[in-house]
Amino acid sequence: MGVAMHIINVAAVLFAALAGVAVLALIILYFVDSSQRVDAIRRNYPVVGRFRKLFSSLGEFFRQYFFAMDREELPFNRAQRDWVGHAAEGIGNTVAFGSTRNTNVPGTPIFVNAAFPPLDDQFAKTAPLVIGPEARQPFTAPSIINISGMSFGAISRPAVLALSHGAKKAGIWLNTGEGGLSPFHLEGGCDIVFQIGTAKFGVRDETGKLSDDKLREVAAHERVRMFEIKMSQGAKPGKGGILPGEKVTPEIAAIRGLKVGQDGISPNRHAEVDDWGDLLDLIHRVREVTGKPVGIKLVVGAPEGIQGLFDEITGRGPESAPDFITIDGGEGGTGAAPMPLMDLVGMSIRESLPMVADMRNAAGLKDRIRLIASGKLINPGDIAWAIAAGADFVTTARGFMFSLGCIQALKCNRNTCPTGITTHDPRFQKGLDVGDKQERVARYAKQIIKEVEIIAHSVGVAEPRLMRRAHVRIMQDNGQSVPMNDTLKRYNQATGS
């Protein structure tokens, strides 16, 4: 009994001490809040006003996990993320009872099922497609879906390794992003597209200009199949990237051609490219030096802008054309970008892709220039729509980030990514197991290709690239759908294009 009373007395003393500490802390916070001049809420409502900021920061968490419906969230809703997660895990993606998608939303694509679709023995796998017939080393690309640009530096070493190995297993290509070619891109043995950003990272000389010698060094790697000259990207058209100096480690500095601790600043455009003619000259230079296909990546701002490219090609001849054009929609993503650019600048891929495809075809360049669609296309319906609209290939970055385990924490612009994908903090990176994640990457790629082929078969064709716009109807605001071709005709008539 005496021992029990002693324990109770000690507990009471501890409780009183803790209560005293808590009261003292509240008094200190009261005087701190009431005397500070930065936050009006905390000054007018000391201590209590702190809960507003706390609940605001937690709101994102609660909405994502408890309150948002499956189709409500942006930039990607739970249904989209779950599909990628199930595909990456290798579990079934079949659903029960009925669709949760509201197909009456204007702009929704609806695929036209055939009355007599091909039988199982009449299906065909998507055939490889040659890119760059004018190059000394054309690339026969095997897959319609591939990994879009994500730089080492923007994403972590284990993330790059998992993507590289996973891409090899799935038979797809991996774009390096503008941060240069790292050993981790090469380790998996996949096909690689080397992206040349406006800062020329990885292929720049001491003054920051494009180096032919560095281009040859990169092209000497057999697995580097193509070069992509990045003009702009969907999340920040007209704005270059910035890698803070504190993130430029000796490893990243060596890859990018920077000094340790030097800010990696990408200009808003290529300094030597003032017009479409200059761009074709640059494409020719890189293709001649490397011997490999060269294309461009850009965001379309208006029809008359991109039309100038095709006019210039027509004047020079088809041999001057880029081997491919990657069209990034204004809805594209990035690690960090100013909100006005992310929200308001650049045409959507839903509008720009069919428009550019029509311009290319009208110029007689359908078999000369391959179109690659990029920008928020992560599920089978997105890919199938893009192929039907005129794309030859589709690339995605965020789809493969989800396959790596991204939870859309929206912390890409900080060094605190909880899944280890966009951080260089070893504490978080340890959670990204390369062996497991490469399998997830491969399974996601294979599953999305399989389900795009299922859509193609349902509309009555043997493989996806045989789909046409007539196979897709677009929902209108009056609750009726019309063929995709009709919506484009109306747009062309309205704009006079």
pLDDT value of position 85: 72
Which has the closest alpha carbon to 353: 385, 379, 322? Answer: 385
Q: Would residue 145 count as lying in a domain?
A: yes
- Top-confidence residue, 102 or 492: 102
Same domain, 435 and 291: yes
pLDDT value of position 232: 82
Least confident of 366-370, 393-397, 456-460, 485-489: 485-489
Same domain, 132 and 218: yes
What average pLDDT does the segment 212-241 reach? 86
Least confident of 25-29, 31-35, 37-41: 37-41
Task: Tell me the C-alpha distance between 18 and 245, whole Å.
Answer: 44
Percentage of the chain with pLDDT > 90? 42
Same domain, 47 and 146: no
The structure tokens 């190059």 sit at 135
Same domain, 126 and 22: no
Task: Tell me the C-alpha distance between 415 and 431, whole Å.
Answer: 14
Which has the closest alpha carbon to 403: 71, 91, 176, 81? Answer: 81
153 contacts: CB under 8 Å, gap ≥ 6? 179, 243, 247, 248, 252, 256, 264
Q: Given pLDDT bands bounded at 50, 70 and 90, which one contains residue 56?
A: low
- Top-confidence residue, 234 or 328: 328
Which has the closest alpha carbon to 353: 331, 333, 337? Answer: 331
Least confident of 341-355, 376-390, 402-416: 402-416
What average pLDDT does the segment 218-239 reach? 85
Query: Is the distance from CB of 293 to CB of 370 less than 8 angstroms?
Result: no
Q: Would residue 105 count as lying in a domain?
A: no
- Top-confidence residue, 478 or 55: 478
| Residue 462 pLDDT exceeds 70 | yes
**Boundaries of domain holding 332:** 121-495
Instruction: Tell me which of 21, 42, 67 is where a domain ends.
Output: 67
411-445: string of b/e by CB count within 10 Å (b at 16+)?
bbeeeebebbbbbbeeebbeebebeebbbbbbbbb
pLDDT value of position 492: 57
Is 115 strand, coil or helix?
A: coil
Best-predicted range by mean pLDDT (46-60, 81-95, 244-258, 272-286): 272-286
Same domain, 164 and 47: no
Q: Would residue 79 count as lying in a domain?
A: no
Task: Tell me the C-alpha distance between 296 and 275, whole Å.
Answer: 14
Q: Mean pLDDT for the chain?
A: 84
- Top-confidence residue, 91 or 219: 219
Query: Is the distance from CB of 285 to CB of 124 less than 8 angstroms?
Result: no
Same domain, 168 and 28: no
Same domain, 405 and 290: yes
Query: Is the distance from CB of 475 to CB of 137 less than 8 angstroms?
Result: no
pLDDT value of position 137: 97
pLDDT value of position 33: 83
Q: Would residue 219 count as lying in a domain?
A: yes
| Residue 421 pLDDT exceeds 70 | yes
Same domain, 338 and 203: yes
Task: Tell me the C-alpha distance between 424 and 413, whole Å.
Answer: 12
Same domain, 153 and 33: no
Q: Given pLDDT bands bounded at 50, 70 and 90, which one contains residue 409?
A: low
The count of domains in the chain is 2
pLDDT value of position 427: 78
Q: Would residue 115 count as lying in a domain?
A: no
| Residue 44 pLDDT exceeds 70 | yes
pTM of the model: 0.84
pLDDT value of position 311: 96
Query: Over the stretch 298-322, which tens digit does the pLDDT of each residue have?
Result: 989 888 889 999 999 999 999 999 9
Query: Is the distance from CB of 79 to CB of 70 less than 8 angstroms?
Result: yes
Same domain, 212 and 285: yes
Sheet holding 481-483, edge to edge: 109-111, 472-475, 481-483
Q: Given pLDDT bands bounded at 50, 70 and 90, which one contains residue 446?
A: very high
Q: Which residues are registered as beta bridge partners of 353? A: none
Q: Which residues are registered as beta bridge partners of 185? A: none
Helix axes 212-219, 276-290, angle to 10 degrees: 50
Same domain, 183 and 297: yes
CB hemisphere CA count around 93 (13 angstroms): 22
Query: Is the distance from CB of 449 to CB of 106 less than 8 angstroms?
Result: no
Task: Tell me the C-alpha distance between 211 and 203, whole Å.
Answer: 6
pLDDT value of position 127: 87
Same domain, 237 and 144: yes
Q: Would residue 85 count as lying in a domain?
A: no
Instruction: For the chain, state the CA radius of gyration.
Output: 26
| Residue 263 pLDDT exceeds 90 | no
Query: Over the stretch 372-383, which tens digit does the pLDDT of each residue have?
Result: 999 888 889 999
The CATH number of residue 383's host domain is 3.20.20.70
Instruction: Tell me which of 49, 67, 85 is where a domain ends.
Output: 67
Task: Tell me the C-alpha distance between 284 and 210, whole Å.
Answer: 14
Q: Would residue 391 count as lying in a domain?
A: yes
Instruction: Tell me which of 67, 87, 106 is where a domain ends.
Output: 67
Residue 204 has what DSSP assignment?
Answer: B
Question: What phi and psi values does residue 174 have, to the nearest 5 degrees?
Answer: -125, 125
Show the beta-strand stretches assigned E in 313-457. 324-328, 370-374, 393-396
Residue 336 has what DSSP assignment?
Answer: -
Q: Would residue 110 count as lying in a domain?
A: no
